């Protein structure tokens, strides 16, 4: 008899966003014709930029001509995209990251989970609470020991350094779900900790494009020594509307070694075996994000979502609700009145206002007492949603 991976039995029955989708479906069955305002899963609503679709269209033409047709993409990504990333996202910020340390992939969600392949199962893994559930679930699937790092209001949602040794540390800033950013000083403490303890930081920077507060680090490699202890995940999903198109990248610096082995070479080996690359058409689209026109369109779209976040935050605060994030991030973390738990708040806001949110408890024990909303919807919806959510919570 084929044995199963028993670790799966330790997981919650369904993935957080699948559970939310199921509750929305039930609501729509009971309320046919209703339109739910989606502030739950962080999915973008603005289309791909014209510069991106133009580049993709040109790539489609190339694929239809035998002289320019391409088969398998390089597992690591095409050099035109890797070089554009190295130049624009790293050299421009004085980070010494070269194109061959950048691996193009189909998403940060998969990379954050797949990276577990290159680490031993007896590593102790430190994970924030609340947290994007992928880090937690993918390590539970491997039966790893997880140390939970509490993030709370008093610590600005940045965890304290662990008081016992850990080997792998997941950090995500700007943070999902709390929407709070990390300062250079705080991030430096983590880099120093990792270097002093031979730990590795898995740094999810999927929301970097939303940072506007001056002085905040946009990449962990802005911190000296991070190339010896950190792997960074970045994505075109939320920065350029690629949630459905799929393109992201992971940086594994050559200087990062453990037990005298290069993690970059291990990740390369892993990708060559288990991954066949991102389509040429998609990579040409991602490259266009770095063109002058792509940059202009990007700042317009990100500006649109940030304006949504600002009106939501204002409405919540003006109506007496405590809320965090929403400044350097598309996520707002709303504190609930003590008498309401987060799934109850989710159901109340869905049933009374037809707005889908994400219950904080879905992000971990410390998420109880909060709900998360996203700013990825329409401006007109954002203008009314803050007040409508506050109306439900102010009972
Ligand atoms: C979220 O809502 O947390 C994200 O959209 C999930 C993801 O990026 O996979």
> What is the rounded average pLDDT of the residues 270-274?
98
Q: What is the pLDDT of residue 241?
A: 98
Nearest-CA residue for atom 1 of ligand 1 = 42
Q: How far is residue 131's CA from residue 363's CA, in Å, rounded to a whole number?
A: 5
Q: In a 3-state reduction of DSSP, which class is residue 363?
A: helix
> What is the rounded average pLDDT of the residues 56-84?
98
Residue 395 has pLDDT above 90, yes or no: no
Residue 216 has pLDDT above 90, yes or no: yes
Ligand 1 close to Cβ of residue 116 (< 6 A): no
Residue 323 burial (C-beta neighbours within 10 Å; 0-12, 13-18, 19+)? buried
Q: What is the pLDDT of residue 374?
A: 98
| pLDDT tens profile 304-333 | 999 999 999 999 999 999 999 999 999 999
Nearest-CA residue for atom 4 of ligand 1 = 42
Q: How far is residue 240's CA from residue 235's CA, in Å, rounded to a whole number?
A: 9
> What is the rounded average pLDDT of the residues 94-104?
98
| pLDDT tens profile 332-388 | 999 999 999 999 999 999 999 999 999 999 999 999 999 999 999 999 999 999 999
Ligand 1 centroid – CA 123 distance (Å): 26
Site of tokens 């058409």: 281
- Gyration radius of the chain over CA positions: 21
Residue 175 has pLDDT above 90, yes or no: yes
Residue 69 has pLDDT above 90, yes or no: yes
Ligand 1 close to Cβ of residue 41 (< 6 A): yes
Q: What is the pLDDT of residue 88?
A: 98
Q: Cα separations (Å) of 23 from 29, 31, 157, 166, 188?
A: 10, 12, 28, 37, 41
Residue 13 has pLDDT above 90, yes or no: no
Residue 37 has pLDDT above 90, yes or no: yes
**Which residues have C-beta within 8 Å of that of residue 283, sequence separation ≥ 6?**
73, 77, 78, 80, 81, 104, 247
Beta bridge partners of 375: none
The conformation of residue 12, written as its DSSP 8-state character, comes to -
Ligand 1 centroid – CA 164 distance (Å): 30
**Which residues have C-beta within 8 Å of that of residue 81, sequence separation ≥ 6?**
104, 283, 286, 287
Q: How far is residue 264's CA from residue 267's CA, in Å, rounded to a whole number?
A: 5
Q: What is the pLDDT of residue 100?
A: 98
Average pLDDT in the chain: 97
Q: What is the pLDDT of residue 14?
A: 84
Main-chain dihedrals φ then ψ at residue 3, nearest 5 degrees: -80, 155
Ligand 1 close to Cβ of residue 354 (< 6 A): no
Q: How far is residue 267's CA from residue 294's CA, in Å, rounded to a whole number?
A: 30
Whose CA is closest to 140, among 131, 257, 252?
Answer: 131
Ligand 1 close to Cβ of residue 176 (< 6 A): yes
Q: How far is residue 95's CA from residue 97's CA, in Å, rounded to a whole number?
A: 6
Ligand 1 close to Cβ of residue 353 (< 6 A): no
Ligand 1 close to Cβ of residue 178 (< 6 A): no
Entry pTM: 0.97
Site of tokens 């002085």: 215
Q: Are strands 168-172 and 124-129 parallel, antiparallel or unpaired?
A: parallel
Structure tokens given for 40: 């739950």
Residue 12 has pLDDT above 90, yes or no: no
> What is the rounded average pLDDT of the residues 148-177?
96
Exposure of 172 in the CB half-sphere (CA atoms within 13 A):
28
Work out the pLDDT band at 390, boundaries 50, 70, 90. Answer: very high
Q: Cα separations (Å) of 252 from 168, 219, 228, 263, 382?
A: 14, 13, 10, 7, 38
Q: Cα separations (Å) of 1 from 141, 142, 143?
A: 20, 21, 21
> What is the rounded average pLDDT of the residues 284-307?
98
DSSP H helices, the chain, are 16-30, 50-63, 79-85, 108-114, 133-140, 184-197, 237-240, 263-274, 280-288, 292-318, 342-353, 379-393
Q: How far is residue 23's CA from residue 345's CA, in Å, rounded to a whole number?
A: 13
Q: What is the pLDDT of residue 366?
A: 97
Spatial contact of 110 and 278, defined as CB atoms under 8 Å apart = no
DSSP readout, 104-125?
EES-HHHHHHHGGGGS-TT-EE
| pLDDT tens profile 120-157 | 999 999 999 999 999 999 999 999 999 999 999 999 99
Whose CA is closest to 253, among 167, 295, 323, 195?
Answer: 195
Whose CA is closest to 257, among 234, 230, 236, 239?
Answer: 230
Ligand 1 centroid – CA 259 distance (Å): 34
């Amino acid at each position: 008899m084929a044995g199963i991976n028993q670790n799966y039995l330790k997981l919650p029955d369904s993935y957080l966003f699948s559970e939310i989708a199921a509750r929305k479906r039930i609501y729509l069955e009971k309320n046919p014709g209703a339109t739910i305002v989606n502030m739950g899963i962080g999915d973008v609503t603005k289309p791909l930029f014209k510069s991106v679709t133009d580049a993709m269209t040109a790539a489609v033409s190339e694929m239809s001509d035998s002289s320019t047709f391409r088969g398998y993409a390089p597992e690591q990504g095409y050099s035109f995209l890797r070089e554009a990333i190295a130049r624009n996202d790293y050299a421009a910020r004085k980070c010494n990251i070269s194109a061959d340390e950048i691996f193009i992939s189909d998403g940060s969600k998969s990379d954050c989970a797949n990276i577990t392949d290159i680490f031993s199962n007896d590593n102790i893994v430190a994970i924030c609470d609340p947290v994007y559930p992928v880090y937690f679930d993918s390590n539970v699937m491997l039966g790893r020991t997880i140390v939970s790092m509490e993030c709370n209001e008093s610590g600005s949602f940045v965890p304290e350094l662990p008081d016992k040794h850990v080997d792998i540390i997941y950090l995500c800033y700007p943070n999902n779900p709390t929407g709070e950013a990390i300062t250079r000083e705080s991030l430096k403490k983590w880099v120093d900790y990792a270097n002093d303890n031979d730990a590795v930081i898995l740094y999810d920077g999927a929301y970097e494009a939303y940072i506007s507060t001056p002085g905040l680090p946009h990449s962990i490699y802005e911190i000296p020594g991070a190339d010896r202890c950190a792997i960074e995940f970045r994505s075109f999903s939320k920065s350029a509307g690629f949630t459905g198109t799929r393109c992201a990248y992971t940086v594994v610096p050559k200087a990062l070694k453990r037990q005298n082995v290069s993690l970059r070479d291990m990740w390369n080996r892993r990708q060559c075996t288990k991954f066949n690359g991102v389509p040429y058409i998609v990579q040409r689209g991602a490259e266009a994000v770095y063109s002058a026109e792509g940059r202009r369109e990007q700042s317009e779209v990100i500006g649109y979502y940030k304006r949504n976040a600002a009106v939501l935050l204002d409405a919540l605060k003006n109506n007496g609700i405590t809320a965090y994030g929403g400044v350097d991030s598309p996520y707002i973390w709303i504190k609930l009145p003590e008498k309401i738990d987060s799934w109850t708040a989710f159901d109340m806001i869905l049933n009374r206002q037809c707005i889908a949110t994400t219950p904080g408890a879905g992000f971990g024990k410390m998420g109880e007492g909060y709900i998360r909303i996203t700013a990825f919807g329409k401006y007109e919806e954002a203008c009314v949603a803050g007040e409508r959510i506050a109306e439900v919570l102010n009972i």
